[in-house]
A and B are shown apart, each in its own frame.
Chain A
Amino acid sequence: MFDLPIEGPALFSIPFGDIVDYASPYTLILFLFAALFTALAILSRPEQHADIIFGEDGVYTGRIPGPENRFQRFMAIACGLAAMGATVSGDIFNFCIFTSMVGLTCIGIVASSGNRHVLNAAFEYGIVTMIAMIPLFGGAAIVAATTGTLSIWELAGGAIAVPFVAKAFLVLGVMGEGMAPFYVAKAEITRAQGAPYILMIHVSSLLIFLRIIEIIITI
């Protein structure tokens, strides 16, 4: 149990062999938040998109067809689970694979959209997600090579120096996976329908971003 003046004391830990997940007040709140929004995605029905027909008084409301809806919900739940894993993971490599799963499920959520503009944005975002895996896992590999370990518990407190470039690569990787730089593609992606599911894209990316801040200050 480490007690650094960053996020408060570690409350409890769940060992999975060499990967020890831990909860501090900070990561616990992030985890609960991810769980809350996953529950919202499970419980709530998608909204109907209201729009006007040009030149008339009519208003139409669009509903997502069943299969699309089911797939979006499935992906949103997977995204929530990945975000939950990333928020409490106590191992850098494990965090990285949860993060890349977040990136992939985000693409899955919008994949069912029929809107060409949204799909174009999602395509660009998907390319960034794929590129981002290089700095992400590169950062983890540099950490392993220079320190000999991957466990955040061992690295915490700055007892073992983690090189700056490894941290920079990790941040860059998370930026690519979660919140593409400058948000342009993400903003276009959120035009897709299905509020509770689309919201998971935003939730997961902000949570992994918050987690990487904690990790790079801790190690």
Chain B
Amino acid sequence: MREREIREGHGSMVSRISRFISDFDNLVPAYALMIACVALIGLLTLPLLTYEPDQIYPKTLNPSSPLNPYDRGGAPFTAAEVHAQYPENAPYIGYVTGYLTPLSRFFAATTQYMGTTIVAHPGGIIDEILYYTRGLDTIVETSILFVAFAVASFLYRRREE
């Protein structure tokens, strides 16, 4: 008992909490607890949430298409029905809906899984919405990947030395 008191302290409530949060090994549990609390509130209020049918980027899934999750319909370089939040910022909207490189056209013609490889091989599908109206997002996303690779390679090379 006494040992435990020395280890965990027997001060006021405040100093007990202080001791707990001053150890960074407790950081992840504390943060996880906070997420759990908010997630619980989210679950309780779930019946109040309603799905908005008028989505900015509507999409119908066509499982038979080899480009499945990314297929926006329409032929490349002809106008297709694509939505945008600010159409005035996108004068050429809908004109490239899904451009395939020769390699990806081969994949699309022979397999059903072209859509799953979009991030795995270069020049897969130029998704009109992803790359045109939300171009900044794709730039930042690749920057994140770049930063992650930079950190990883730096750590790896330092271990080599």
Residues on A close to B: CB < 8 A?
15-20, 71, 74-75, 78, 82, 85, 91, 93-94, 97-98, 100-101, 104-105, 107-108, 111-112, 120-121, 124-125, 127-128, 131-132, 134-135, 142, 144-151, 154, 163-165, 168-169, 172, 175-176, 180-182, 184-185, 188
Contacts and interface: CB of A to CB of B under 8 A. Distances in A.
> Size band of the B side of the interface?
35 or more
B160 interface: no
Contacts of B21: 182, 184
Interface in B107-141: 132-137, 140-141
A165 B38 contact: yes
Contacts of B54: 148
A185 B24 CA distance: 5
Contact of B31 (A91, A128, A144): A128
Interface of B: 21-28, 30-32, 34-35, 38, 41-42, 45, 48-56, 84-86, 89-90, 132-137, 140-141, 143-144, 147-148, 150-151, 154-155, 158
B105 to A, nearest CB: 26
B140 A165 contact: no
A168 B151 contact: no
A112 B158 CA distance: 9
Given A78-B143, A148-B55, A163-B48, 11 more contacts: A18-B89, A20-B86, A78-B147, A94-B134, A98-B140, A104-B147, A148-B53, A149-B85, A175-B34, A182-B30, A184-B24
When A and B form their complex, which 7 residue pairs have the shortest distance between CB atoms, in order from nearest? Answer: A148-B52, A17-B133, A165-B42, A18-B133, A182-B21, A15-B89, A16-B136
